[in-house]
Amino acid sequence: MIELDPIAVVRNSRKTVEDDQWGEVVSTIELLPPLTAEALTGIESFSHLEVIYYFDRVQTAKIETGARHPRNNPDWPLVGILAQRGKNRPNQIGVTICKLLEHNGSSITVKGLDAVDGTPILDIKPVMKEFLPKEDIRQPDWVGELMQNYW
């Protein structure tokens, strides 16, 4: 058994779960006790953050463990849930790299976080180039079509 407590919460204008148009969304991430502003010391030195969060609005009955068509679109291939980034994942964990706009005490403001208002944050990590792939990224053609309006 693994138990995680949220370290922060998302505040933004997106109240409902939607699949597209996340690129211009500005969110504030507010730390929760026992974390204090000290936990964010120096974060403003980074341009981007990797935010790990919990898909708390996914209904248990909708969790996928096998293969499905991404976004349930039959025009896209049947692929395993671990071979796509859908929200109905077995552990309901989301990960996004977003732009850091501001650090103010125990909160940060970011752009491009694809999490709705009230989403629990599990972790925040600075993006460091040394952790990004040095090789070219390879992906199937359907991903470009799926992501066309995402950001």
The 10s digit of each residue's pLDDT in 71-109 is: 999 999 999 999 999 999 999 999 999 999 999 999 999
Q: Is residue 134, in this structure, part of any structural domain at all?
A: no
| The two three-digit tokens of residue 149, written as one number | 């309006």
Q: Which pTM was predicted?
A: 0.94
Count up the domains in the chain and report the number: 1
| The two three-digit tokens of residue 103, written as one number | 């650090």
Question: Is the Cα dihedral 11, 16, 18, 24 positive or negative?
Answer: negative
pLDDT of residue 130: 96
Strand pairing report for 48-54 and 67-68: unpaired
Helix segments in 8-140, DSSP class H = none
Q: Is residue 122, in this structure, part of any structural domain at all?
A: yes
Domain of 105: which CATH number? 2.40.30.70
Residues of the chain with pLDDT under 50: none
How far is the C-alpha of 25 from the C-alpha of 136, rounded, in Å? Answer: 28
pLDDT of residue 34: 97
pLDDT of residue 67: 97
pLDDT of residue 150: 87
Q: Is residue 42, in this structure, part of any structural domain at all?
A: yes
Amino acid at 59: Q
| The two three-digit tokens of residue 123, written as one number | 């972790």
Which domain, by its residues, includes 117?
8-129+140-146
Q: Is residue 3, in this structure, part of any structural domain at all?
A: no
End-to-end CA separation in angstroms for the chain: 35
Q: Is residue 22, in this structure, part of any structural domain at all?
A: yes
pLDDT of residue 139: 95
| The two three-digit tokens of residue 66, written as one number | 């096998």
What SS3 state is found at 46?
coil
Q: Is residue 1, in this structure, part of any structural domain at all?
A: no
Q: Is residue 118, in this structure, part of any structural domain at all?
A: yes
Q: Is residue 63, in this structure, part of any structural domain at all?
A: yes
| The two three-digit tokens of residue 53, written as one number | 């969060």
